[in-house]
Amino acid sequence: MSLVRKTKPSIRHTIVDPRLLYGLLFVALLMRFARGGTANASYLVLAAYALFGRAQAIQALALSWLFTMLSAGVAPEASGATVGRYAVLGAAVAATIGRAAPAKGVFSISRPVLATLALGAFIVFHSILFSDVPDVSIFKAVSWTLAMASLLSAWKGLSSLERARLERQLFGGLAALLLVSVPFAFSGIGYLRNGTGFQGILNHPQALGPTAALLGAWASGRLLGLSRPRALDGALLGLCLTLVVMSQSRAAGLALAMGVASAVLLLPVVTRTPLPRLMPGLASRWALVAVVAAAIALVFVGPVLGQRLGSYIQKGSDSPSWFEIADQSRGELVDKMVANIKEEPLTGIGFGVASDPSSMVTVRDSVLGLPVSAVSEKGVLPLAVPEELGILGLLLVIIWLCPMIMRGARSGVAAFAVLATVLFTNLGESTFFSPGGMGLLYLVFFAWAVTGSHNNVRGSKRG
């Protein structure tokens, strides 16, 4: 049987048999868990898969994140991952740009994509003029711009059926990832990074926690947005909350709480839609059952739960103050960023440049010498942006971000909760503009949130 079936001849378009595509993904997964060059070649298979369409480009980028973030306890390290993920990104860009051109050869670019390209062009120009490490800033700026623009274009170009199917696949994939991680809670493999925070099958507790927070925000949004919430979503939310606490990622826990709270408090105002109509789940019998069950549980496990939460918040600190705990966790990073902002308030130090540029270790491609990796740890995104891009750069980022937030608000409760959780997570881990690690996962779901249908603001009966 042929693996390619033809549509109407006038369309000049072919549709690849899904079995071939799923086979490619299966091969890529098997290769990633192999050793040596086979693990590296798995990224090339993903890159080939990305070329088949918009949905495939999004899936490939999401899997590229997974391949990069897998724990060494469950899969060997891929020495070529740094270069491999750029191959996947390049293929995704090629796939989305190729489908942005209609039959007459004129490119159709949506406003979010155009705004992203404009912001990216500014950052590149800024990097040339003001960055302390220009080539690093330019490479990071181009990488983020292409990743964000291609994801926005890909999500926007999907039909409603394709979008719904891909949404189920991605969120279902995250749920499967968390479920597979659970057995490792009883093994040292699940705590390889620091021996205390649970990381599951990912390489860091600070990866598992935010991942669980994103999925928890989506489940929360579904519970609120449906008049007849599903018990499965409630169970999923419970699992996510448990894993967030086990990961000891306070940034993820705070982001999840603030993301869902923002959806409840801000969406009725932004969309001018009454709360009962916007979130019928609040008035459902399942909500009443949940409240009663929570009250009963607090009576029996309240003291133990309080102790657990206290330990989670303090995370080994003896300080009773939340501000002191935050200072101990991010104070040194914040002090360096503030000092740089005071010294270079107008120009900044350069996009993606570490607060102390001399401490930044840059990995370059052996062939072209491109700076494919240059880690710069930043603790607070709202400070990292003016530190790197100056006051004008901060204003332009705000101008770019505000319409995106409004689009997310019009996409529904679940979308806005996920979008807000992404942004609030970056109050503790500045990774939104770094598509090489956790930032890539954030971009995938940020783009999903801001490209949703504006009809989704109204609650529905079933998901």
**Residue type at position 151:** L
Q: Taking 50 as the threshold, does the pLDDT of residue 41 lie above it?
A: yes
Q: Are 240 and 215 in contact (CB under 8 A)?
A: yes
pLDDT digits (tens, 9 = 90+) for 150-199: 999 999 999 999 999 999 999 999 999 999 999 999 999 999 998 889 99
Lowest mean pLDDT, pick from 14-18, 36-40, 311-315: 311-315
Q: How confident is the model at residue 9 (pLDDT cuts 50, 70, 90)?
A: very low
What tokens were used for 139? 């490479």
pLDDT at residue 8 in the model: 41
Q: Mean of the pLDDT values across residues 288-310?
A: 59
pLDDT at residue 103 in the model: 46
Q: Are 151 and 58 in contact (CB under 8 A)?
A: yes
Residue 453 CB contacts under 8 Å (≥ 6 apart), including other chains: 160, 411, 412
Q: Mean of the pLDDT values across residues 40-61?
A: 95
Q: Tell me the sheet residues that pair with 460.
A: 226
Q: Are 205 and 429 in contact (CB under 8 A)?
A: no
Q: How confident is the model at residue 348 (pLDDT cuts 50, 70, 90)?
A: very high
What tokens were used for 433? 């503009």
pLDDT at residue 282 in the model: 78
Taking the C-alpha atoms of residue 89 and residue 144, their distance in angstroms, rounded to an integer, is 10
Taking the C-alpha atoms of residue 221 and residue 216, their distance in angstroms, rounded to an integer, is 9
**CB-count burial class (<10 Å; 0-12, 13-18, 19+) for 299:** exposed
Residue with tokens 């860091």: 204
pLDDT digits (tens, 9 = 90+) for 99-144: 665 544 555 788 999 999 999 999 999 999 999 899 999 999 999 9
pLDDT at residue 78 in the model: 87
Give long-range contacts, CB 8 A cutoff, 24+ apart: 338-343.
Answer: 338/383, 340/387, 341/383, 341/386, 341/387
What tokens were used for 64? 């590229």
Taking the C-alpha atoms of residue 437 and residue 140, their distance in angstroms, rounded to an integer, is 12
Q: Taking 80 as the threshold, does the pLDDT of residue 307 lie above it?
A: no
Lowest mean pLDDT, pick from 43-52, 92-101, 294-303: 294-303
Q: How confident is the model at residue 328 (pLDDT cuts 50, 70, 90)?
A: low
How high does pLDDT run on average in the chain? Answer: 84
Local structure of residue 70 (DSSP, 8 states): B
Q: Kind and range of the H or E element at 282?
A: none
Q: Which residue has the higher pLDDT, 415 or 13?
A: 415
Other beta carbons within 10 angstroms of residue 184's beta carbon come to: 19
Taking the C-alpha atoms of residue 415 and residue 444, their distance in angstroms, rounded to an integer, is 12
Taking the C-alpha atoms of residue 387 and residue 293, their distance in angstroms, rounded to an integer, is 47
Query: What are the CA-CA distances from residue 102 to residues 56, 107, 214 (Å)?
Result: 19, 7, 35
pLDDT at residue 363 in the model: 76
Q: How confident is the model at residue 51 (pLDDT cuts 50, 70, 90)?
A: very high
Q: Are 198 and 205 in contact (CB under 8 A)?
A: yes
Q: Taking 80 as the threshold, does the pLDDT of residue 401 lie above it?
A: yes
| DSSP per-residue letters across 200-261 | TTBS-HHHHHHHHHHHHHHHHHHHHHBSS--HHHHHHHHHHHHHHHHHT-HHHHHHHHHHHH
Q: pTM (2 decimals)?
A: 0.88
Alpha carbon of residue 269 to chain centroid: 26
pLDDT at residue 295 in the model: 62
pLDDT at residue 12 in the model: 38
pLDDT digits (tens, 9 = 90+) for 375-386: 777 778 899 999
Q: Kind and range of the H or E element at 364?
A: strand 362-364
Q: Are 222 and 172 in contact (CB under 8 A)?
A: no
pLDDT at residue 325 in the model: 54
